Amino acid sequence: MTDDDFETEQNLLGTILSTTDEVEHQDQKKQNASVDYNQTQTQTKFQFQYQFQTTDSFSKSFEQISLGSDQLCSPISPDGKLQYKNQGACTSFSSDNQTSLENSMIFGNARGFDYFQKQPEQFSPIFYSQTNPIRPSYQKPSQNLEIQLDIDIENMCGNQVLSRKVQKIFETGTPNQKQQIFWKVQANCQEFSKDVFGNYLIQKILEKGSQVYQILIFKQLLPYVLELSKNNFGCRVIQKLIEIISKNDQLINLFIEEIKQNVQSLLIDQNGKYVILKCLESLQIDEVKFILKPTEELCNHMCDSQYGCKIIQKLIENYPTQVDNLIQICISNQDLLYKSQSGNYIIQYAIKQPKNLEVIANYIVNHLEYLCFNKYASNTVEAILEYLTPKLKNDLIQILIKLSDQNRMFIFINIATNPFGNYVIKRLLYTFELEHTQQLLNLIKQNLNLLQYIRQSEFGQRIYTILTTQLNDQN
């Protein structure tokens, strides 16, 4: 082989080797590119899943956020590092009561949310489920519940979620948890009693707590009975307290001594009336007799109030032989009582006594149409019909056959077609003897168009049936 041939062969071999190397280099390059692409896709997918889960968890958790709840947690950042500066502020991902962020925040005691360093033995609110990587799962915290209870109770006032949570723990929790709640609350039970949500926890302790707890709460609240009785929320606690002590004579005596000198102050207060009524309903009759005299002195004021009327009604039931003076004062204010849901019962009780009948009946006759058009006053007019004397019955009929000043229609027709008054006419036609109703029947005979007018009325159809029957009986 000549030198030229050898050189040509070497050049050919170099070309073949370089081509092979290039092919291998390209294959390796493609393989590396494929690996990089797969890694990029995997990382992109993971980031997308994380963003989706984080957004999803926030959208769900913000509707259940609760400061100081039993799950001290916050969504974890992608690098797994979180920092937290202010202890006691947290979000709950498993609260039974879903509330908005606005309702859960404790105003006036702001606690900032910040990133915090995740510590061992703490928590991890989110981890990725192998079976369902899209929807996050939540791990239960390992934080000490007793420590959280301190935070919850401190921030409970004004927070409905925390109030309900602490109530639930007191009702179903361990003895240690109950004791922790009690001692924390007992020191400030006056303030809790006046809180819109805290008062329910005091009521729960009185209702579900031991007798020792009940007595300690009673002694703590006793000096503030008058103040709490006039408070919108405190009066509820005092009412529950009255129920609890109703069977303990010693505690009842202490309570009565506290309010006895301030009965009038409670009778003129809207919330205080609730407390007085609860005393009349729960305590023994002899124990609350002292309420009778102050009520007589304030009767004019009481007649203008629904709960004032309920107190008077209860006194009449409890002391039927000792309320003559009280009833006489009520009768002098009967114009206030007829249209009251409770006050009309006072008049109905008074008409059962003959000495009061004529005064009440004369008032009713002179205001018949006005009273029959009222839902509650019509009940009183209906009740008095069976007690009227023959003279009073005749006076009532004479009013019914007169023309009304309102529409120049017979008063009888106006009342018979009224949604409340028709019951009065029906009772009258059943109760009065024929000698009294005859004037009404004669009026219908002379004006048969009145009968058709009653028939066409939605509320007069029952009256039409009764009148038709009685007219047919006379024929």
CA atoms within 13 A on the CB side of 197: 19
The pLDDT assigned to 151 comes to 75
Q: What is the rounded average pLDDT of the residues 142-150? A: 60
Tell me: pLDDT of 5 over 70: no
In a domain, 321, yes or no: no
In a domain, 373, yes or no: no
Domain CATH for 237? 1.25.10.10
CA distances from 270 to 133, 225, 302 (A): 59, 15, 10
Q: Looking at 283, 316, 331, which one is the last position of a domain?
A: 283
In a domain, 302, yes or no: no
Tell me: pLDDT of 317 over 80: yes
Spatial contact of 312 and 344, defined as CB atoms under 8 Å apart: no
Q: Looking at 110, 143, 176, which one is the last position of a domain?
A: 143
pLDDT digits (tens, 9 = 90+) for 72-124: 333 434 444 434 334 443 333 333 443 333 343 333 343 333 333 434 443 33
**CA-closest candidate to residue 153, choices 166, 172, 164:** 166
Residues near 139 by beta carbon (within 8 Å), at least 6 away in sequence: 123, 124, 125, 127
Q: Looking at 283, 307, 328, which one is the last position of a domain?
A: 283
Q: Give dist(CA 160, CA 95) in Å, integer.
A: 12
In a domain, 309, yes or no: no
Q: Give dist(CA 388, CA 385) in Å, integer.
A: 6
H or E element, residue 440: helix 434-446
In a domain, 360, yes or no: no
Question: Are 86 and 151 members of one domain?
Answer: no
Tell me: pLDDT of 451 over 90: no
Tell me: pLDDT of 365 over 80: yes
In a domain, 329, yes or no: no
In a domain, 354, yes or no: no
Decide: pTM greater than 0.85.
Answer: no
- Helix (H/G/I), strand (E/B), else coil: 83: strand
Question: Are 119 and 160 members of one domain?
Answer: no
Range scoring the smallest mean pLDDT among 137-151, 317-331, 361-375, 411-425? 137-151
Q: Give dist(CA 167, CA 163) in Å, integer.
A: 6
Domain that holds residue 397: 387-475
Question: Are 183 and 125 members of one domain?
Answer: no
Average per-residue pLDDT for the chain: 76
More confident residue, 32 or 347: 347
Question: Are 55 and 68 members of one domain?
Answer: yes
pLDDT digits (tens, 9 = 90+) for 386-410: 999 999 999 999 999 999 888 888 9
Question: Are 160 and 260 members of one domain?
Answer: yes
- The total number of residues shown for the chain amounts to 475
Q: Give dist(CA 296, CA 26) in Å, integer.
A: 110
